[in-house]
Each structure stands twice: as structure tokens, then as C-alpha cells.
Amino acid sequence: MAEVLGVVASGISVASLAIQILDNINRVTNFYASIKEAPTDIQRVLLELQLLSSIVSGIQIVFEKRSLPENNEATTRKSLDLVRHDIKKLSDLTLTLERKLNSEKRTVRTWARVQTVLSEKKIAVLRDHLDRAKGTLQLLQ
């Protein structure tokens, strides 16, 4: 009985992680999609985030059906934790830029555009992290 409860609880925690990741991916995707004439790199990030969202959704469905072997569960949870951490960083960066871009002050909006360009390096690093995490998640499926 205790084993069954443990399996159910760990499945719920994986599903919860997946939901958090999907929420942050949607927030980031909506922001970057709203940028008119987004640079090619940002458009690429959007496509990769959409792919990552599909992978995480697939993992969530597998866990809800409890059709993943128990030995993969810990690895999946660790991989999802990595993805959540990187998506959270990207989401925080996005929220900061979004607030500034929506400011009523013209100078703040102008500075936000500059910061968006300067943030491309951070975005590239996060994208590399996400690529690796995405590869790991795909291997787990």
C-alpha cells in the first residue's frame, strides 16, 4: 500500500513540475511572439520552446497514465527540474523586459529595447541549456 502511494505521489510531483514548466514556457513564448520584427534568433527560440512544450506535455501524459517504468522516474524528475530552472531564468528575464517595454516612459521603453538586444547573449546561453535538457527529455520518452 505504501509503495502504491509513493508511486502516485511521485507521479503527481512530475505532473506538477510539467505544469509549472508549461506555464513558464507559455509566458515566455507569448512575450517573444509579441515583439514585432523579432530577430531570427528569438524566432528560433520560440520554435524550440514550442517543441519543448510538446515534449513536456507528452511526458506529463505518460506520467498521468502511469506508463513509465519506475527506474526512469527519478531521471525524468531531475531532467524536468533542470528544464524548470532554465525556463524560470528565461521567464524572469522576459518579465523584466516586458515590464520595461510596456512602460509609459519613453526613455524606459527605449532602454528596454537596448536591453533586449543585449540580452541575446543570455538568451543564447539559456537556449544551449534548454537544447541539452530537451535532448535528455527526448531520450527518456
Per-10-residue mean pLDDT of the chain, 141 residues long, equals: 47 77 80 65 73 81 72 78 82 74 72 67 76 76 65
**Residue 80: partners with Cβ closer than 8 Å, 6 or more residues away:** 14, 17, 18, 21, 56, 59, 137
Q: What is the reported pLDDT for 112?
A: 67
Task: Decide: pTM greater than 0.85.
Answer: no
Dist. CA 82–CA 133, nearest whole Å: 7
User: In which residue are the cell numbers 520554435 written?
Assistant: 47
Confidence at residue 39, expressed as pLDDT on a 0 to 100 scale: 59
The answer to whether 21 and 56 are in contact (CB under 8 A) is: yes
Residue 39's region, left for phi above 0, alpha for psi from -120 to 50, else beta, is: beta
For residue 94, which of 44, 33, 18, 50 has the smallest C-alpha distance?
A: 33
